Every structure is written in C-alpha cells, then in structure tokens.
Chains A and B, each alone.
Chain A
Amino acid sequence: MIEISITKEMIPVQQSDETQTNNGSELQFYGRVRGIEDNQIIIAIDYEYYPGMAENELQKLGEKTIDKFAISKLSCIHRVGKIPVGETSLRIIIWSKHRRAGLDAMEWFISQMKKDVPIWKNAILKDSSKISSKCQC
C-alpha cells in the first residue's frame, strides 16, 4: 500500500501505528529545514515543484520501492512552498515485517527521490535574497 501527497501545509508528527500487527518494523523519517545552507545562515527554504508530475513521480517511485523491497506499506508527504528553518519538509514512514528491508527501502526511496522527483530548493537568506540549493545526493 502506498500513500503519497504533496502539501503546502505543516506536516504533523505521526503516532506509531499499533494496528500494524503483522509488521515488526515501522520506520519514520523526518527531513527538516537546516539553518545553514552552502555555509550561509538561512531563514527558510522555498520549495518549488512541478504540480502533477511531482506527485506522479513520487507515486511511481513508491510502487517501484514496494516491488523492490519486502515492505508492506509506504507513506510519503512532501511539503512545498516556503518552509521556515526547523520545520519538516518531508515525512516518510515505511512498515515491514523485518527491519532490514525497511531500512534499505528508506535509503533507496530517498536517494531516488533526489534524482527523479521534480522538486527544487531555494534557500532564503536573512536579506530575503535566494540561492538555489545544490543537490546533496
């Protein structure tokens, strides 16, 4: 099962799902906006995306991940727009029977997302100027 979404709203912390009784592993990953980008102090990141294609690419990536690894469920929310330092930009949760498949799937999903999903970072400095962030693949 795959749940994918892109939102302009804050991403809430997710309580552990104790109904997943067949899955011994639940991994939650939160990506947050750092206060330093390219050795400069920033106040936020403005995430630009390609509406429609970004969702489709995330969905396709989720399907590939489920096919490639022994995981049961993958949930991914990516926030876009202006996100202040410290707030969550990305939340991924993966449920699997055993931890190894979940850990491998998480690493692979994030690495592929940073290659294929049309989302870009623009860091905003204190003086409101912007710098396009380089991919830290």
Chain B
Amino acid sequence: MIRLHVLNFSLVKDALGKKNIIITMNNGVTVKQLLEKVRAMNKQKLDGLPIRVAVNQLYVNENYTLRNEDQVALIPPVSGG
C-alpha cells in the first residue's frame, strides 16, 4: 500500500470540505485511479469539474504512477490575474 498526501484547492477543496487529506491506495496506482476515487467521495459537486494533477509540484498526466508519500495536488481550472 502507498500513502498519498493530497492537497485540495479552490472548488475541489470546497467540494471535499478539506484542504489536506491522506489517501491510502494499492501499489502501482495511477493518477487516473486516484481521481476516480476522489470523484467518488463527492460525485455531485465534482461531477464535470476538470481537475489537473500535480505530483510534487509538477503537472503529470493521468497515466502517471504514484509513489509512497507523494504530494498530490488536485488543481481545478486556475483563475489568476
């Protein structure tokens, strides 16, 4: 099993009600599988919301394999400026 430090921002944080969560998953899990799990936590509010993922502060794609103790940021559409 691996332990992931998940950081939620903006609309994702609002939907899940928490800034930081720890999620435990099987070895070899991908970003896509993590997103499926997170969306299942609050399907209604996250439904249709595009979420990009950064691992240890770098954007990755859905096929990226997560490792134990990774810091995983769930990034909804940004709106700086």
Contact = CB atoms under 8 A, between A and B. Distances in A.
Interface of A: 31, 47-50, 52-54, 56, 78, 89-90, 110, 113-122, 132-136
B78 A118 contact: yes
A13 B54 CA distance: 34
- Size range of the interface on B? 10 to 19
Nearest to B10: A120
B9 A120 contact: yes
Given A52-B57, A53-B54, A114 B11 contact: no
A120 B77 CA distance: 8
A117 B80 contact: yes
B10 A132 contact: yes
B76 A53 contact: no
B57 A120 contact: no
B79 A135 contact: yes
Interface in B20-59: 54, 57-59
B16 interface: no
Contacts of B54: 50, 53, 118
Interface of B: 7, 9-11, 14, 54, 57-59, 73, 75-81
Given A53-B73, A118-B75, A119-B78, 16 more contacts: A31-B81, A48-B9, A50-B7, A53-B54, A53-B57, A53-B58, A54-B80, A56-B57, A78-B80, A113-B80, A115-B78, A117-B80, A119-B81, A120-B79, A122-B10, A132-B14
Contacts of B77: 134-135
A132 B9 contact: no
Given A53-B57, A120-B10, A114 B80 contact: yes
B78 to A, nearest CB: 6
B80 A121 contact: yes
